[in-house]
């Protein structure tokens, strides 16, 4: 984990100011190219959403509009209890907003999937820090040291491991394995499938994912369900 106050400093420097004393010369705003899209153009429905529908319990088919797509995500999000950390809630709002934008740009449904999976990773990290607040004993060969929690992740990168957890390295894979062993994951969660989906989006090589709204909702619900097990009502 990062040292204290790291998050605030990162937020106030737009991801880290690597040259704090270097000043850039003021530059005028660039002129338009003629290819910019107007707000009215951006607000046009993506043609891939035309005809979007679902089958109701009685077997009839119901056409969907933008609000219908958002409603399913909002209902799922509303199940989160008061114990959910604020930072996790904020991240879910962003995931839900990406779904709303998906009505106008279909690829945003895919972005919502990736963002939902990032919510899962963030939640697992937070829960791990709650259950292992430190100080923690680290082992490397025959040496051992007791360190504060915020030092552990960096030490693990340099060959140390948490006592009793030799394979844990703060990766999403190790977090999922830990969560499974702690009974935090939903029954039947396919860790390999979650990792494959997330890694193929984070490290693309051969194709671009295009995920429909319905599949995006499935991932969203999976993450919501897992987080409810991390912080029950």
Domain presence at residue 186: yes
Given this model, what pLDDT does residue 15 score?
A: 52
Helices 172-181 & 107-131, crossing angle to 10 degrees?
60
85 Rama class: left (phi>0) / alpha (psi -120 to 50) / beta: beta
Given this model, what pLDDT does residue 100 score?
A: 95
Residue 137: strand, helix, or coil: strand
Domain presence at residue 69: yes
Given this model, what pLDDT does residue 229 score?
A: 96
Domain boundaries, position 186: 45-131+181-230
Given this model, what pLDDT does residue 223 score?
A: 96
Provide the token pair at 185: 């994951």
Domain presence at residue 7: no
For residue 23, how many other CB atoms are within 10 A of its CB?
6
Given this model, what pLDDT does residue 135 score?
A: 96
Q: Per residue of the chain (233 residues), what is the pLDDT tens digit?
A: 555 555 555 555 445 555 566 666 556 567 889 899 999 999 999 999 998 888 889 999 989 999 999 999 999 999 998 999 999 999 999 999 999 999 999 999 999 999 999 999 999 999 999 999 989 999 999 899 999 999 999 999 999 999 999 999 999 999 999 999 999 999 999 999 999 999 999 988 877 888 999 999 999 999 999 999 999 98
- Paired with 146 in beta bridges are 137
Domain presence at residue 192: yes
Given this model, what pLDDT does residue 21 score?
A: 64
Q: List the 143-147 sheet strands across, edge first.
A: 143-147, 136-140, 161-162
Domain presence at residue 80: yes
Domain presence at residue 64: yes
Domain presence at residue 139: no
DSSP per-residue letters across 143-207: EEEEE-HHHHHHHHHTT-EETTBTT--SSHHHHHHHHHHTT-SPTT--HHHHHHHHHHHHS--S-
Domain presence at residue 120: yes
Given this model, what pLDDT does residue 10 score?
A: 52
Q: Which long-range contacts (CB under 8 A, 24 or more apart) does 35-41 make?
A: none
Q: Please tell me the total count of domains within the chain.
A: 1
Distances (CA, A) of 123 to 85, 104, 231: 9, 29, 10
Tell me which residue has tokens 């990162």: 10
Given this model, what pLDDT does residue 104 score?
A: 96
Residue 153 CA to residue 120 CA, distance in Å, equals 18
């Amino acid at each position: 984990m990062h040292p204290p106050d790291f998050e605030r400093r990162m937020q106030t420097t737009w991801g880290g100011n690597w040259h704090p004393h270097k000043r850039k010369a003021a530059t005028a705003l660039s002129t338009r190219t003629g290819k910019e899209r107007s707000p009215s153009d951006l607000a046009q429905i993506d043609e891939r959403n035309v005809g979007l529908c679902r089958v109701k319990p009685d077997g009839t088919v119901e056409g969907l509009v933008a609000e219908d797509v958002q409603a399913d995500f909002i209902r799922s999000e509303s199940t989160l209890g008061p114990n959910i950390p604020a930072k996790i809630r904020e991240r879910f709002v962003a995931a839900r907003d990406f779904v709303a934008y998906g009505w106008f740009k279909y690829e945003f449904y895919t972005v919502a999937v990736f963002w939902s999976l990032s919510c899962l990773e963030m939640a697992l990290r937070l829960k791990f820090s709650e259950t292992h607040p430190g100080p923690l004993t680290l082992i490397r060969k025959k040496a051992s040291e007791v360190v504060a929690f915020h030092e552990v992740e960096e030490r693990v990168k340099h060959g140390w491991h948490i006592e009793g957890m030799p394979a844990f390295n703060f990766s999403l894979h190790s977090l999922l394995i830990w969560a499974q062993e702690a009974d935090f994951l939903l029954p039947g969660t396919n860790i390999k499938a979650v990792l494959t989906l997330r890694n193929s989006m984070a490290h693309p090589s051969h194709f671009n994912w295009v995920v429909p709204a319905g599949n995006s909702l499935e991932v969203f619900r999976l993450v919501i369900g897992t987080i409810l097990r991390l912080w029950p009502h």
